[in-house]
Amino acid sequence: MKGRFRLVVAAAVIFAVATLAACEPKAPSSPDSLTYSTDARAAYLEAMDVFEAQSWEEARLRFAEVKRLYAHSPYARLADLRLADIEFEQGKYTEATTAYRTFVRAHRSDDNVEYARYRIAKGAYLDIGDTFLLPPAEERDQGNAEEAYRELKAYDEQFPKSRYRADSGYMLAVVTQRLVRHELFVARYYLGDDRFEATIARIEYALARYPGSGLDAEALVLKGETLLKMHRRDAARAAFDVVAKQEGPFKLAAERFLAHLGAEPATPSEKGEKPGVEKAGVAPSDRTPPAAPESGAPSLKASP
């Protein structure tokens, strides 16, 4: 009887010890162990499950744990990116950009640098922050838009065959048009105020700084109109002639201006003058647009 009781007690003790051992947290495997990479991958995938469920704070803790326990594995670098993604997905673009830049500096040869740079550029684009409560886009300060333009331009130049090129190209086109429209908005204000030289300088800066915007025809018609008011008919005719030879919404306006000019002879001082950028790369000194035009509504309105 006593022997049986002792066996029961011994079995209970063994069961209790085994249960406690199972409940203890698993110690991380060392970098030299055979299971290190497997354990790192498993921990990373578990963190990804939480990330995809958008449980941001728990995901942050789990990726931080992957970095701590498996610092010598590739999953630690991936955890860095996912931590940046957590900030990005919550709209914290400044914090996300800092994290992506840190990744790029620390892992310059990593294949995921392309992804990090793309997210930096996209964060700058999304950080422009349009809302119907603000004035029209072209009337506002363009600091954020200019930053997005630089990032997107640099990204497309560094990764011309990027798998994100379609998205980055679209964002660059949107930002470029926004910046050009801002320059033309200011040019129209100057034109309404009879500041013709400032108008021309602003238009030429837009053409030189932001090529390929798709707004060249609009800019050239505005330039031609300004030149007419400066009594530089030959230069104006050349600008209108360029637009009249192209299909687009400003072709008719250019043709009407040409019809108005008729076939008058060129002014000797203007012979050979071209309609393009006369001072390429030279920004006008006044880079701060007024809040709104004060007088003189421009005769040429922006295209829709």
State the number of CA atoms in the 13 A half-sphere of 300 facing the CB.
25
Crossing angle of helices 233-244 and 251-261, rounded to 10°: 140
- HEC string of 5-60 equals HHHHHHHHHHHHHHHHHHHCCCCCCCCCCCCHHHHHHHHHHHHHHHHHCCCHHHHH
Distance CA 217, CA 25 (A): 69
**Pair 3, 11: CB distance under 8 Å:** no
Tokens 């991380």 locate to: 28
Q: Which long-range contacts (CB under 8 A, 24 or more apart) does 269-272 make?
A: 270/232, 270/233, 270/234, 270/235, 271/234
- Residue-level pLDDT at 139: 53
Backbone angles phi, psi at 230, to 5 degrees: -90, 5
Question: How many Å separate Cα 156 from the centre of its chain?
Answer: 11
Scored b (16 or more CB within 10 A) or e, 92-113 reads: ebebbbebbeebbeeeeebebb
Q: Tens of pLDDT along the chain (304 residues)?
A: 544 544 444 444 444 444 444 444 445 556 666 789 999 999 999 999 999 999 999 999 999 999 999 999 999 999 999 999 999 999 999 999 999 999 999 999 999 999 999 999 999 999 886 543 344 554 556 788 999 999 999 999 999 999 999 999 999 999 999 999 999 999 999 999 999 999 999 999 999 999 989 999 999 999 999 999 999 999 999 999 999 999 999 999 999 999 988 745 445 444 445 444 444 333 333 333 333 333 332 233 333 2
Query: Which CATH superfamily includes the segment(s) 41-110?
Result: Tetratricopeptide repeat domain (1.25.40.10)
**Quick one: CA torsion of 101, 107, 109, 111, rounded to 10 degrees?**
-80
